[in-house]
């Protein structure tokens, strides 16, 4: 009966380090905050009466600021995921 020998594991190459560091998680939380704030700023601007048009949907807050915050949040998220640790 043949037995397979155990594979040799190089202890120097094997590490138990996590892929993300504390800095990565901090950036992820900040990015999620930007995205959440952007979507909160998009809320509203509607009219209580469906027969009346509301100009509030075209405000600077909803048309410019909120999408920029969401895009900045996504950019921060991508950076947080791609950032390598210093170790």
**Position 26 in a domain:** yes
Q: How far is CA 70 from CA 4, 22, 27, 31, in A?
A: 55, 23, 15, 9
Q: Give the domain extent around 63.
A: 22-82
**Position 62 in a domain:** yes
**Position 69 in a domain:** yes
**Position 48 in a domain:** yes
**Position 1 in a domain:** no
Residue 37's CB is within 10 A of a number of other CB atoms, namely 16
Closest of 72, 78, 75 to residue 41, by C-alpha:
72
pTM above 0.85, yes or no: no
**Position 12 in a domain:** no
- For 20-69, how does the pLDDT look when each residue is reduced to its tens digit (9 = 90+)? 899 999 999 999 999 999 999 999 777 788 888 888 888 999 999 999 99
């Amino acid at each position: 009966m043949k037995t397979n020998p155990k594979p040799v594991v190089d202890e120097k190459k094997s590490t138990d380090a996590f892929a993300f560091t504390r800095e990565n998680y901090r950036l992820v939380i900040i990015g999620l905050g930007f995205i959440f704030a952007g979507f909160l700023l998009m809320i509203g601007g509607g009219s209580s009466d469906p027969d009346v048009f509301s100009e509030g949907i075209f405000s600077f807050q909803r048309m410019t600021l909120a999408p920029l915050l969401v895009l900045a949040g996504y950019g921060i998220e991508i950076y947080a995921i791609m950032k390598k640790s210093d170790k």
